[in-house]
Amino acid sequence: MGLRIGDTAPNFQADTTEGKIDFHEWLGDSWGILYSHPADFTPVCTTEIGRTAQLKDEFAKRNTKVAVVSVDDVKSHNEWKKDVNETQNTSVEFPIIGDEERKVANLYDMIHENASATATVRSVFFIGPDKKIKASITYPASTGRNFAEILRVIDSLQLTAKHPVATPADWVPGNDVIIGLGVKDEEIEEKFPKGHKIIKPYLRTTPQPE
């Protein structure tokens, strides 16, 4: 059975393109994203690694560290990084984990045998500062990730961790949010001084708290 929301993200030690890391120590008090790519020197993965590097400042603004893993070794990763930097006009500075023994891939259930017996699918794990898994997304090898959605999920997770709200369908930062069901009507004015709307007893909205 794969990892579920609320589970502790498994810790591991591994060699990476940025040196040896202990995953939990490396995360520290930051939020984290761990994602897998099927293989080095492949086209979709090249664009994804490049996009991750291009978004360095966006992840830093969210206090979020990113690490990437595939079943290739670090030597291969370092050679491939040169292609990524060249073709995507960027500089990859986050750790790409060498996992030729599939230790990390197995810990995080990243190999789906019905898709491939050897390559990892495009898993994304969002990890909180408490080392708990807050969300996950899985794509097939043929579908490149939407990084606007990845950033949107981080924004939602961080907002809802601080305030008793939920984010509605298609929410983006700055839009109204939904007041949590645990908040009583008589508490709303104090908790949400920007105002609110009661659409239904169970559907109450307020401007984004931050």
Residues tagged active-site: 45
Closest of 145, 182, 176 to residue 37, by C-alpha: 145
Token pair in block for residue 77: 């990763």
The C-alpha torsion from 157 through 158 and 159 to 160, rounded to 10°, is: 50
Are the C-beta atoms of residues 167 and 159 closer than 8 Å to each other? yes
- For every residue of 36-62, DSSP letters joined together read E-S-SS-HHHHHHHHHHHHTHHHHHHT
Helix and strand element counts for the chain (H, E): 7, 11
**Cα–Cα–Cα angle for 63, 69, 72, nearest 5°?**
155
Element (H, E) at 85: helix 74-88
Please list the residues that pair with 197 across neighbouring strands. Answer: 205
